[in-house]
Structures are given as structure tokens and as C-alpha cells.
Amino acid sequence: AQELAAAVLSYLSADGGKNIERIMSAGGVRPLIALLSASESPQAQSSASAVLSDMTRTSRAIQMAVAKENAIEPLVALLATDNALEARSAAAGAVWSLAKDNPDTQTALAEAIPPLVRLLDEADAEAQRKAAGALASLAIGSEANQNAAVTAGGIGALVTLLGEGSSTAVHA
């Protein structure tokens, strides 16, 4: 039931606006965050990450509200696992949205950099796109995160992606 509920919420949140407000008002943030670590279902984890991504993409206030509900640690932990690629890719998408244009969340999400760099090595264009977008969101305006990306091997991994001819655009 949790897997299906998370999937339906991900469809609703993809439409943005009022549905995101409704999910927030219904207290949906905390149970979505709990699914990131409590669920053994990669689909539930992926759907929960997708909803969090949709929510945090809309405003800094929502980014901060999600961060205050302790979303950062389970997102980073999910990225660092050997869980299904779909779940790790969706977590990268959530990190991308959570860090975008927000120095506070950029700093708090710095530990996501090494697993994001590893995600660039996956043979999946969508996972690579989300990992690159998350790295961009973390690095823009943050010298510390830029240095962490370099230390984690990010430049080499990104240069390798250049040679793969992927046509998937990333806009941080």
C-alpha cells in the first residue's frame, strides 16, 4: 500500500502547484522522508524521492521545510547504497532540487557529492543527468562543494560523459 500511495503522490506532485500545497498541508513530508530509509521497496523510495524533488523545486521555503524535517541524511544514505539504480537516480533528482539556489541546503548536502560522482559512472542516461544536475546545484556558488566534487573525481567523470555523446540536457 505504501508503494502505491507514494506512486500516486508522485503523479500528483508532478502537476505542481496546488497538489504540492495539498501534500504539504496533509503532513506528507515526514512520511515521504521515512520511506527513503524504512521501505525495502526501491519503487517506494523512488516515488518518495520524486515527490520530494517536485516539492523542493517550487520554492526556497519548501526546500527549508523539507530540510528541517531531516530529509538530507536519508537522501544521502540512499544515494550511497547499492539499492536499485532507479531509487538512487530519483534521490539524485531530489538532491538537485533541494540544493538549487540555496546555500544552506548546498552546505548540508555536501556529503552527497561522492555518491553523486559514482552515479555518473552508471550506464543509465537519466541517472547520469540527475547526478550531473545535482552536482551542478551543489557546486554553483560553493567553493567548498566545488573542491569536494574535484576531490571525489567529478571532473574526470564529467569529462567522460562528454565523450559519450549523450544528448540529454542538464540545466542547473
- pLDDT tens-digit profile of 41-97? 999 999 999 999 999 998 999 999 999 999 999 999 999 998 899 999 999 999 999
Residue 107 in this model has a pLDDT that exceeds 90: yes
The pLDDT confidence band at residue 171, using thresholds 50, 70 and 90, is: low
Structure confidence at residue 156 (pLDDT) = 95
Distance CA 156, CA 116 (A): 13
Q: Which three cell numbers stand for residue 99?
A: 540544493
Tens-digit pLDDT profile for residues 124-136 = 999 999 999 999 9
C-alpha neighbours within 13 Å on the C-beta side of residue 167:
0
Structure confidence at residue 164 (pLDDT) = 74
